[in-house]
Amino acid sequence: MRLSACTPGRTDCQSVLQRRSAKTLVLFVMTAPVLLGMMGMVVDGGLLMVAYRQTQNVADAAAMGAALDKFKGATDDVALATAQSLVTNNGLSATLTLNGGASNALNIPPKDPGNTGSPFKNSGNYVEVMVTQNVNTLFIQVLGINGTQQVTARAVAGYEPVGARPDGGARTGGEQQ
């Protein structure tokens, strides 16, 4: 194959350049939707991950607050009020219900509605918080998927008596766990 320089006025060089630019345009038109789709997936995936992390942090805080109330001997309604205030103060607009099941609920004792095999199911010293948040995506709607997605987080917190040991013996002050 011989390479030659194209000089102004040569018709064979112009036809090669014109055909090449058309191929580039076709290639760009074919790959642009794929690249934009990948960009949209990354942006929307990032939005969902951030929303899930925020929702999980809120669920963790609400479960810890409710478990602390239960440890102090408070009623379920007081634990619910504490959990609700922690949810609201951490930026979510969810309204928790007492023993409401799988969505926006404070379950005392934990119900494990997703059947995850939780060892704390129906354990009286534990509480479970389920929080759901709606997330508006930006690009996923182009693919025909609903633009509002839900993220749900579950947190379980509780307490154990200080003297309890797994082997049934009493714990003394010098033992390490």
Domain ranges of the chain: 18-158
Overall pTM > 0.75: no
Mean pLDDT of 102-111: 87
β-bridge partners, 103: none
**Would you call 107 exposed, middle or buried from its count of C-beta atoms within 10 A (0-12, 13-18, 19+)?**
buried
Tokens of 62: 């609400």
Confidence label for 144 from pLDDT (cuts 50, 70 and 90): confident
Q: How many residues does the chain have?
A: 177
Mean pLDDT of the chain: 81
Q: Residues 65-71: what's their mean pLDDT? A: 93
Q: Are 146 and 164 in contact (CB under 8 A)?
A: no
Exposure string of 132-153, with b = 16+ CB inside 10 Å and e = fewer, is bbebebebbeeeeeeeebebbb
Q: What is the mean pLDDT of residues 12-35?
A: 73
Average pLDDT over residues 145-167: 81
CB 131 within 8 A of CB 87: yes
CA distance linking residue 107 with residue 61, whole number of Å: 15
Whether the predicted pLDDT of 160 surpasses 60: yes
**The pLDDT of residue 103:** 85
The answer to whether the CB of 108 falls within 8 A of the CB of 70 is yes
State the pLDDT confidence band at 162, using cuts at 50, 70 and 90.
Answer: confident
Q: Higher confidence at residue 115 or residue 86?
A: 86
